[in-house]
Structure 1
Amino acid sequence: MAQSQQLTGTVDAVVLRMRALDADLPERDGVAVFNRVYLAVTEEVARRLAVGHFSDPAAAVTLDVRFAQRYLAVAEEEHRPACWRPLFQFRRHPGVRPLQFALAGINAHIGHDLALAVVDACRALGCEPADLEDEFERVGDLLVSLEERIREDLMPGPDLLQVADPLTHLLGSWSLERARDATWSAARALWALRGLPELAEEFGRRLDAAVGLTGRMLLTPLPYRPGGLRARV
């Protein structure tokens, strides 16, 4: 088997776990909404690996799989970092819209898990964060492009997008690109602190708490709108 096939197969194993979660979760469950978004992202990573999109496929797979494993551990276990707790607490709240669930999950995974995954990948590969920057940016660009699709698929109709609508305010309060930039800085800081475990642990706890606070804001229950929203990605 060629190396590219082996690498794609590694990502495919992650895809299978996400598909199993999708089959088990109720369609309108908040975690299910995020899981479908992340499944679409991971399937696209596998497709791009197969066509040679990444300059260092082995590094891209290591980063992608370490990244995904952190989410899967959260989804399949009950002990969860602070950044994920709001999504799991509000996953069935009738006042939270599907787009809010999707963005809250992306916020937790990008804002917290990705920084730790960069450190995990550097340790596994014996490299520095700078050596993974190209793969980090390529995955980030994919997420940004898919965010546009997510907003289109989960956004309410134009008649609901008035300036005074609370959802409009929430959507303007968070940016994936800004979150990605902050994550890269956090990953570099965590790597620089690897020789100071107590300080690194404190930094990680504070990062977790700050991302969790943002997630709680994104999940603010909003007034019910008749007609419902699409919940599939």
Structure 2
Amino acid sequence: MKLLALETSTDACSAALLIDGDIREKFELAPREHTKLILPMIDSLMADAQLKPQQLDAVVLSRGPGSFTGVRIATGVAHGIAFGADLPVVLVSTLAAIAQDFFNRHDVGISFTAMDARMDEIFWGVYRRNGLGLAELLGGEAVTPAAAAVFPDVSGFGVGSGWGVHGEVLTARLGRRVEDIVSEVWPRAACIAQLGAYDFANGLAVPVEQAMPVYLRDKVAKKQSER
């Protein structure tokens, strides 16, 4: 299995290449530099592996939520590669990637994952580590004010940038169910590839025409103009 994974939804920019379970990644924390970084990252990974796009099995896209512009950057690049090489696309949640990175680094079972969504809101979802060690969503993902987030009755860790900005409000809602908070966790293309490999193996790739981002927030342009 050969997969190229892309992630540009936050201030972090990354690309990863998965070849038969081995993952190589280029990662950089560089706000507003994604358009300059993502293509050289891809070119470097592909050149090092001596691969051409036509030799890939699929492109794995971090579909959002996240920065509107950031999500569009990865989507545009993924579409270009997939169209050009006639490849399917696997869509992976940015929130799932954050939870997966946390699970990869810590032996814990539940992640209350939250990203700062600006406008006094958070993107959030609750993930558990399944038997394969992969992040599995409990319920659904949503965008709400931090004070309106409704979490399932489980205990776990507060993970992601939403906890850095709205930690006091979120902790007040969850109380003792929050075991600890780790806000400096970024979505990484390596985790997008890890989750995407499972989905690809289980037939969840889609034609590139169907590979659309998920912003969670409706009427993005209108809300930005109202700020």
Q: Give the structure-2-normalised TM-score.
A: 0.26
Higher helix share: 1
Q: Give the structure-1-normalised TM-score.
A: 0.25
Higher strand share: 2
